[in-house]
């Protein structure tokens, strides 16, 4: 289990070791209860509908945490990460890397979507892990990403293929820290908008272990790509990404009382 | 401001919370003049809907006055009087364009739980759990309304709030429930639940051409209101009568052409199956109590429609699929596609075809919300619909 220790050192601010983390169900109880109390056994059934294997069910149902008890170090975890070792189409450059493919349908024309995406500097607007992209010339760009564990990673990328309104492909240049490649296709439909299919391949900072850590701490690549695409869709269709963070609630406690008093005195609204 | 907060099962409190602010360009802030408690809120109160968090602001039936608008809300200005639909919808996505507003793709910022449970997520809803977006609700002095360029309906100052408020939910909900029955000349519609949604479903069924409506409940006061408000309504108190036999008597042995379930997941009953449902819901073997729905399926005529505005959240046990299949029934259900009905139903109010305020039984101050929740939950017969006033 020395791998386990390696992971635990990846997150020094968390006192708990991964072994504790994996064997102790306590931290998740409230989260689990929140879902399970209302949906009860049924919730598990629903998860089962989405994922084929039992490990998948547990992973999903218990926020990917409890489930690790049964899946630690086993290939189910890699399956859940979307790593398919048997896929022969993975080229040399991608061998052993993480691959993610996701699709979303957007109620806009391929041209509108292509135009926005091809301006790579727009990507951080919906790809949350990116801090900035700067285009250096028509084919080259510099990318800066928020890596797991509060680090940043930077690399240069080049466009490897582009077909206006149809396809954009890019990959990091030879000397990059984080090797990655991406491809997005825009496929028109008769009357359902445009199907956007994204295919990403990359090597996580510490290989598979890094990806596993990322998964544990909620930076699972496949989920990240889904969320990115959801934000892309929302931005394209509605012009914004819906926010609820920062809204009011009764959770703010004493601060609230004070603010209310201040307001009563100041007469603001 | 003051807001009604969900603190846990059977625990709502009026708390001082920060005023809402504009978070997106298409937001507006509304100063609430009138709000109400819905039967759906009782599902939250009774702890049936998962992903609520202590401190969540409740309420999805509200109206008021615009006090602030984001840069993307050119249609509203300060001082406009508006009713806000409880489903939040963008107006741009495939579903909104198809008028399936409650299926909007872009209004639930936290769709993952709903996707895991249901496959895909519906639209965001005000004050109705984090699974439905975690939006702060409108049982408060102010509320933030997202996609305010699409949702809020401007209403005339000359009509009083109580006649307009229910355009925010239960009037369109009853109307869609009846519309989903595709009512034809000579139809008899049977409606389970004589709560506010049931009352609007009755009126809507007649507006859409039903010949007769049969209403099933066990609260005499609610049944009486249904008889007083409408001609050609027959009522059945399920505590005293065998519902199926009585329905056959009232339909010449044919059964109703369509059945509407205005009860939802907290169905009452003392029959064997409903007692089992209580036990199972209690022990988490099943989550919802579908007694009324089972009865509706059983009673519906061959080839008929079962329309379900009543809310279900999880899993049903002993769902009579054989009966549904054997009779070739059609099912229609879901959260109401609110935006589609706002204008036509406002016209019905303006033309005096209906005065929606007939469902109101109590008028209280917002600060009295905890009492209102308790009574609406436990003294259902007389506490039929509570309207709350923030000022
Ligand atoms: N689909 C939507 O968009 C939507 C919108 C609003 C409300 N709703 C739902 O509609 C339902 C009704 O709302 P309401 O405000 O009228 O609630 P309510 O609780 O006031 O009314 C429910 C009525 O059903 C009756 N009932 C219970 N068990 C019954 C049974 N076995 N047979 C016949 N009647 C029975 C109750 O006595 C009560 O009168 C709720 O489930 C609510 O969540 C859905
Ligand atoms: Zn409601
Ligand atoms: Zn939409």
Prediction ipTM score: 0.93
User: Where is average pLDDT lowest: A37-46, A155-164, B174-183, B249-258?
Assistant: A37-46
pLDDT at A86 over 80: no
pLDDT of residue B31: 98
What CATH architecture does domain B171-333 belong to? 3-Layer(aba) Sandwich (3.40)
pLDDT of residue A37: 35
Residue B108, token pair as written in the block: 């639930």
- B149 CB under 6 A from ligand 1? no
Domains along chain A with CATH numbers = 18-91 (no CATH), 96-238 (3.30.530.20)
| Average pLDDT value for residue range A220-245 | 93
Residue whose C-alpha is closest to residue B44's, from B60, B27, B24: B60
Residues surrounding ion ligand 2 at CB below 5 Å: B 38, 40, 169
Q: CB count, 10 Å around CB of B98?
A: 10
* Ligand 1 centroid – CA B15 distance (Å): 28
Q: Cα separation of A71 and B198, whole Å?
A: 50
| Average pLDDT value for residue range A190-212 | 76
Residue whose C-alpha is closest to residue B195's, from B180, B177, B174: B174
For testing the chain A interface, which of B116, B123, B147 should be mutated: the one with the most A CBs within 10 Å? B116
Which chain A residues are within 8 Å of B17, Cβ to Cβ? 248-250, 252, 256
Task: Give the position of tokens 């968090």.
Answer: B53
Q: How many whole angstroms from its chain centre is CA A87?
A: 22
Residue B384, token pair as written in the block: 């039929």
Residues A207, A210, A212: CA angle, nearest 5 degrees: 110
Residues 6 or more apart whose CB falls under 8 angstroms from that of A163 comprise none
- B43 CB under 6 A from ligand 1? yes
Q: Cα separation of B6 and A214, whole Å?
A: 34
Residue A39, token pair as written in the block: 């949906």
Best residue for ligand 1 mutational test, from B87, B128, B264 (most atoms within 8 Å of Cβ): B264
Above pLDDT 70, what percent of chain A?
48
* Ligand 3 centroid – CA A234 distance (Å): 9
Best residue for ligand 1 mutational test, from B310, B334, B341, B361 (most atoms within 8 Å of Cβ): B310
Q: In angstroms, what separates the C-alpha of B153 from chain A's closest C-alpha? A: 19
* Ligand 3 centroid – CA A191 distance (Å): 16
Which chain A residues are within 8 Å of B113, Cβ to Cβ? 35
Delimit the domains of chain B by residue range. Answer: 2-169+336-389, 171-333
pLDDT of residue A147: 66
Contact between A152 and A145 (Cβ < 8 Å): yes
Best residue for ligand 1 mutational test, from B40, B102, B336 (most atoms within 8 Å of Cβ): B40
Residue A131, token pair as written in the block: 């801090």
pLDDT at A32 over 70: no
Q: In angstroms, what separates the C-alpha of A49 from chain B's closest C-alpha? A: 9
Residue whose C-alpha is closest to residue B121's, from A207, A230, A30: A230
Q: In angstroms, what separates the C-alpha of A10 from chain B's closest C-alpha? A: 27
Q: Cα separation of B387 and B362, whole Å?
A: 6
Q: Cα separation of B37 and A234, whole Å?
A: 31
Contact between B259 and B247 (Cβ < 8 Å): no
- B264 CB under 6 A from ligand 1? yes
pLDDT of residue A266: 52
Residue B147, token pair as written in the block: 């996609």
Q: Cα separation of B215 and B42, whole Å?
A: 21
- B268 CB under 6 A from ligand 1? yes
Q: What are the start-end ranges of the H helices in A109-177?
A: 110-118
Q: How many whole angstroms from its chain centre is CA B7?
A: 22
pLDDT of residue A49: 46
Q: How far is CA B143 from CA A28, B82, B213, B258, B318, in A?
A: 32, 12, 38, 38, 41
For B343-363, b/e burial (b = at least 16 CB within 10 A) is eebbebbeeeebebbbbbbbe
Q: In angstroms, what separates the C-alpha of B322 from chain A's closest C-alpha? A: 22
Task: Name the DSSP letter for residue A131.
Answer: E
Residue whose C-alpha is closest to residue B295's, from B343, B326, B263: B263
pLDDT of residue B208: 98
pLDDT of residue A184: 98
SS3 state of residue B123: coil
pLDDT of residue B48: 87
How does residue A155 score in pLDDT terms, banded at 50, 70 and 90?
Answer: confident
Those residues of chain B that have pLDDT short of 70 are 282-285
pLDDT of residue A205: 56
Which chain A residues are within 8 Å of B135, Cβ to Cβ? 244, 247
Q: CB count, 10 Å around CB of A85?
A: 10
Nearest atom, ligand 1, residue B267 CA: 28
How does residue A252 score in pLDDT terms, banded at 50, 70 and 90?
Answer: low
Q: Identify any residues that bridge with A180 across adjacent strands, giving them in sequence order.
A: A202
Task: Give the position of tokens 């039992």.
Answer: A54
Q: Which CATH superfamily is domain B2-169+336-389 in?
A: Medium-chain alcohol dehydrogenases, catalytic domain (3.90.180.10)
How does residue A3 score in pLDDT terms, banded at 50, 70 and 90?
Answer: very low
pLDDT of residue A204: 58
In the predicted model, what is the mean pLDDT of chain A? 66
pLDDT at A71 over 60: no
How does residue A45 score in pLDDT terms, banded at 50, 70 and 90?
Answer: very low
pLDDT of residue A28: 32
Q: Cα separation of B319 and A138, whole Å?
A: 61
- B291 CB under 6 A from ligand 1? yes
- Is the pLDDT higher at A25 or at A189? A189
> What is the C-alpha end-to-end distance of chain A, expressed in Å?
60
Identity of the residue in B23, B51, B57 whose CB atom sits nearest the CB atom of A250:
B57
């Amino acid at each position: 289990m020395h791998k386990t220790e390696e992971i635990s050192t990846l997150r020094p601010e968390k006192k708990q070791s991964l072994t504790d983390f994996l064997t102790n169900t306590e931290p998740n109880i409230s989260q689990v209860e929140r879902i399970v109390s209302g949906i009860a056994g049924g919730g598990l059934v629903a998860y089962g509908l989405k994922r084929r294997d039992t490990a998948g069910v547990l992973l999903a149902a218990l926020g990917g945490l409890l489930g690790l008890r049964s899946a630690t170090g086993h290939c189910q975890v890699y399956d859940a990460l979307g790593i398919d070792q048997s896929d022969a189409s993975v080229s040399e450059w991608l061998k052993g890397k993480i691959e993610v493919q996701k699709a979303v349908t957007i109620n806009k024309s391929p041209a509108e979507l292509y135009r926005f995406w091809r301006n790579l500097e727009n990507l951080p607007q919906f790809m949350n892990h990116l801090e900035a992209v700067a285009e250096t010339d028509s084919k080259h760009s510099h990318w800066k990403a928020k890596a797991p564990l509060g680090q940043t990673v930077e690399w240069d990328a080049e466009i490897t293929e582009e077909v206006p309104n149809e396809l954009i492909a890019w990959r990091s240049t030879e000397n990059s820290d984080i090797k990655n490649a991406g491809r997005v296709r825009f496929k028109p439909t008769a009357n359902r908008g445009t199907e956007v299919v994204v295919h990403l391949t990359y090597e996580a900072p510490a290989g598979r272990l890094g990806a596993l850590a990322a998964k544990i701490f909620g930076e699972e690549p496949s989920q990240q790509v889904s969320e990115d695409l959801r934000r892309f869709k929302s931005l394209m269709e509605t012009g914004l990404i819906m926010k609820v963070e920062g809204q009011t609630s009764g959770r703010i406690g004493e601060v609230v009382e004070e603010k209310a008093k201040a307001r009563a005195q100041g007469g603001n609204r | 401001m003051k807001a009604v907060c969900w603190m846990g099962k059977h625990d709502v409190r009026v708390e001082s919370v920060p005023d809402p602010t504009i978070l997106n360009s298409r937001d507006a802030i509304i100063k609430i003049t009138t709000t109400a408690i819905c039967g759906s809120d009782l599902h939250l109160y009774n702890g049936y809907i998962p992903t609520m968090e202590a401190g969540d602001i409740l309420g999805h039936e509200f109206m008021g006055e615009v006090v602030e608008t984001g840069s993307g809300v050119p249609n509203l200005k300060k001082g406009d009087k508006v009713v806000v639909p409880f489903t939040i919808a963008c107006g741009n996505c495939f579903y909104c364009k198809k008028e399936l507003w409650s299926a909007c793709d872009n209004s639930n910022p936290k769709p993952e739980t709903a996707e895991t449970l249901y496959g895909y997520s519906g639209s965001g809803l005000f004050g109705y759990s984090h699974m439905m977006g975690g939006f702060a609700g409108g049982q408060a002095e102010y509320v933030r309304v997202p996609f305010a360029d699409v949702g809020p309906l401007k209403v005339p100052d000359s009509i009083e709030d109580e006649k307009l408020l229910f355009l925010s939910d239960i009037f369109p909900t009853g109307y869609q429930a009846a519309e989903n029955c595709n009512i034809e000349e000579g139809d008899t519609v049977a409606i389970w639940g004589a709560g506010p949604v049931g009352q609007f479903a009755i009126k809507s069924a007649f507006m859409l051409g039903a010949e007769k409506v049969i209403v099933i409940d066990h609260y005499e006061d609610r049944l009486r209101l249904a008889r007083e408000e409408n001609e050609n309504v027959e009522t059945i108190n399920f505590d005293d009568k065998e519902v199926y036999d009585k329905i056959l008597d009232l339909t010449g042995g044919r059964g109703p052409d369509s059945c509407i379930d205005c009860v939802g997941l907290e169905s009452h009953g003392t029959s064997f199956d409903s007692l089992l449902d209580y036990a199972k819901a209690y022990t988490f073997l099943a989550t919802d109590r579908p007694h009324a729905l089972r009865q509706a399926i059983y009673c519906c005529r061959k080839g008929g429609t079962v329309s379900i505005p009543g809310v279900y959240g999880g899993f049903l046990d002993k769902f009579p699929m054989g009966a549904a299949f054997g009779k070739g029934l059609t099912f229609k259900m879901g959260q109401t596609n609110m935006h589609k009905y706002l204008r036509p139903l406002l016209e019905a109010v303006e033309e005096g075809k209906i005065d929606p305020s007939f469902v109101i039984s109590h008028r209280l101050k917002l600060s009295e919300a905890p009492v209102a929740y308790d009574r609406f939950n436990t003294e259902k017969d007389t506490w039929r619909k509570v309207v709350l006033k923030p000022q």
